[in-house]
């Protein structure tokens, strides 16, 4: 009997070893779960978003790994026929690349993160300590998930975004019976996702991330454990503000939007879907349109078996567009949906209003393409570039003479009328005066002659984004002031 027991012990040892491995695995997972809830405790009871102080995150933070794993395991965006999940394999690959690079360093932003396939700029990213030293913080706006503040760091203005405790996102979550800890964690996930996605989409019409901080410490009752992202500071957009812009500025926004649509349809991670397309997701940075909110985007086309699975219906316009089903995907679905929504919120009412008459036929074609989805984004860009080129060259003025005609206006070199005889006029670029852009002096004279209130204009050396010259129309005359950068032209009596 003793010998039999001795011969069975090797087999028993195998079972003991296997059981030990299982127990070790379970303990390891429990420890990771504990680490996850350490973060939840850190960020989900935060109450004061008006002073987002932050702390440095340590290398190889398990917190960030947990956040990334959560992002990888969830499908963001809305469904079509309860089957379409836009946040699929392409964004998973993006997150995996990021986790193995930036996130493996605990999201330490003391250097510019190098996301695979993404160019790195020469600017250093702000880290947690830098963000803590942002001064002159002032509340700008809040949405469902985020509160946005503006501040300054070393004299540079920037936007600071953090979780909004009083937002609809968290309040709705709590009303559904979910704990405050879990609700805050879900909101914080969206900011972390934005940090990753914005850095992976380098384009001049996408807002630039300047820095970020994802704290690791357990929340202790104050605001120094907030998840924070810092970006360029932009000007919010609303309908009234857009309609008050000059046509040239509205042309720029329409052109920017068209180029952005082309970029979104061809990103390295697949066609990008904006599942909640609103004007509030965009800002103006020095007059340039930029996408700033990407917490509800996805990368991939809907799955399909045949063409009829790829019908895109817009109930607001009673309009349906069908795309082809290629290789199990609705080809061009995201691009067409983005294009229609961009036209509805921007281009179709920005371009026609106040446009030069000789550009009307081209503009009508672009507007029709936005409304009926008759052109893809590449073709839209080609048409918009033609409109911009004609406007820059002055071809829209339909001049037959190559030489500049003589003027009857009285010319005063190096002269100005600063702060005098300013008046408001239609399509002015400023609120306090009649400031317009012109191709040349002749166009300025023509505009002044058409305006009965205009007595003259100041021709500056300032240029717009198209290279046109800025002029200030005046409704009165006085002794001019010397200014080496301007010239004064007065209508003859």
CA distance 100 to 93: 11
Rounded to 5°, the CA angle 68-70-75 comes to 110
Taking CB atoms within 8 Å and a gap of at least 24, the contacts of 148-153 are: 149/50, 149/52, 150/233, 153/126, 153/230
Cβ burial, residue 427 (10 Å; 0-12/13-18/19+) = middle
Cβ burial, residue 484 (10 Å; 0-12/13-18/19+) = exposed
DSSP letter for 303, please.
B
Strand order in the sheet with 146-153: 135-142, 146-153, 156-163, 228-231, 209-213
Cβ within 8 Å of residue 395, ≥6 positions away: 358
- Residue 410, SS3? strand
- Residue 378, SS3? helix
| Token representation of residue 215 | 């704290």
HSE value, Cβ hemisphere, 13 Å, CA-based, for 220: 9
Rounded to 5°, the CA angle 485-486-492 comes to 165
DSSP letter for 346, please.
I
CB 207 within 8 A of CB 198: yes
The length of the chain in residues reads 493
Rounded to 5°, the CA angle 253-259-261 comes to 100
- Residue 215, SS3? coil
Cβ burial, residue 419 (10 Å; 0-12/13-18/19+) = exposed
- Residue 217, SS3? coil
- Residue 460, SS3? strand
Catalytic residues: 276
């Amino acid at each position: 009997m003793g010998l039999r027991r001795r011969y069975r012990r090797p087999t028993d040892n195998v079972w003991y070893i296997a059981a030990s491995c299982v127990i070790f695995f379970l303990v390891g997972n429990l420890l990771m779960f504990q680490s996850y809830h350490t973060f939840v405790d850190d960020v989900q009871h935060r109450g004061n978003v008006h002073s987002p102080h932050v702390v440095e995150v340590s290398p190889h933070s398990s917190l960030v790994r947990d956040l990334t794993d959560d992002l990888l395991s969830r499908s963001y965006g809305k469904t079509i026929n309860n089957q379409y999940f836009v946040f699929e394999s392409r964004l998973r690959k993006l997150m995996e690349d990021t986790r193995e690079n930036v996130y493996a360093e605990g999201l330490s932003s003391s250097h510019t993160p190098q996301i695979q396939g993404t160019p790195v700029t020469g600017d250093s990213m702000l880290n947690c300590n830098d963000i803590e030293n942002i001064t002159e913080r002032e509340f700008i706006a809040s949405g469902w998930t985020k509160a946005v503040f503006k501040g300054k760091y070393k004299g540079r203005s920037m936007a600071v975004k953090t979780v909004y405790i009083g937002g609809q996102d968290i309040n709705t979550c709590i009303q559904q019976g979910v704990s405050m800890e879990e609700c805050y964690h879900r909101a914080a996930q969206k900011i972390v996702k934005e940090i990753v996605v914005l850095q992976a989409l380098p384009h001049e019409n996408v807002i630039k991330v300047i820095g970020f901080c994802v704290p690791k410490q357990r929340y202790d009752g104050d605001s120094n454990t907030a998840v924070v992202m810092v970006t360029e500071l932009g000007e919010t957009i609303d309908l009234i503000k857009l309609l008050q812009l000059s046509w040239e500025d509205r042309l720029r926004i329409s052109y920017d939007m068209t180029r952005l649509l082309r970029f979104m349809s061809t990103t390295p991670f697949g066609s990008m879907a904006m599942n909640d397309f609103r004007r509030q997701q965009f800002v103006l940075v020095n007059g340039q349109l930029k996408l700033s909110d990407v917490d509800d985007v996805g990368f991939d086309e809907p799955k399909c078996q045949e063409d009829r699975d790829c019908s895109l219906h817009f109930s607001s316009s009673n309009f349906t567009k069908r795309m082809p089903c290629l290789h199990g995907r609705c080809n061009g679905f995201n691009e067409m949906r983005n294009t229609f929504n961009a036209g509805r919120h921007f281009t179709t009412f920005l371009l026609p209003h106040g446009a030069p008459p000789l550009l009307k036929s081209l503009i009508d074609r672009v507007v029709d393409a936005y409304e009926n989805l008759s052109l893809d984004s590449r073709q839209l860009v080609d048409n918009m570039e033609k409109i911009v080129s004609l406007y820059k060259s002055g071809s829209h003025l339909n001049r037959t003479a190559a030489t500049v005609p003589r003027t009857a206006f009285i010319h005063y070199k190096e002269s100005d009328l600063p702060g005098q005889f300013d008046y408001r006029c239609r399509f002015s670029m400023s609120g306090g005066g009649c400031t317009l852009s012109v191709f040349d002096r002749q166009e300025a004279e023509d505009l002044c002659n058409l305006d009965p209130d205009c007595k003259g204009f100041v021709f500056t050396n300032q240029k717009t984004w198209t290279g046109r010259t800025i002029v200030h129309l005046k409704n009165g005359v006085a002794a001019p002031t010397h200014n080496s950068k301007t010239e004064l032209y007065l209508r003859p009596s």
